[in-house]
Amino acid sequence: MIELKLQHQSREAVLAKGLEQTADYADRVEADEAHLVIFNRNEQVPWDDKIWQSEAHCHSWHIGTWGA
């Protein structure tokens, strides 16, 4: 499953809240895997700073995290 968040706060704040929600949703739908995409619409932030990828752990989930 894929969860999408718009970045209205710092990346860290959105990531923390988004990971909790993604893990909860993945549990509810009995997903095989989980991913979180955080979309930064701020035009003043260069694309090189918006694009990133990592993996995070939340509860029993390994969640792929992506910035766009």
Q: How many domains is the chain built from?
A: 1
pLDDT tens, residue by residue, 24-33: 999 999 999 9
> What is the pLDDT at residue 8?
93
State pLDDT tens for residues 38-64: 999 999 999 999 999 999 999 999 999
CA–CA gap between residue 65 and residue 2 (Å, rounded)? 10
To which H or E segment does residue 13 belong? Answer: helix 11-29
Question: For position 25, what pLDDT does the model report?
Answer: 97
Is the entire prediction scored with pTM above 0.85?
A: yes
Annotate 20-59 with DSSP letters as a single string: HHHHHHHHHHT-S-EEEEEE---TTS-HHHH-EEEEEEET
User: Residue with structure tokens 């694009």?
Assistant: 51
- Residue range(s) defining the domain that contains residue 6: 2-67
Residues in the chain: 68
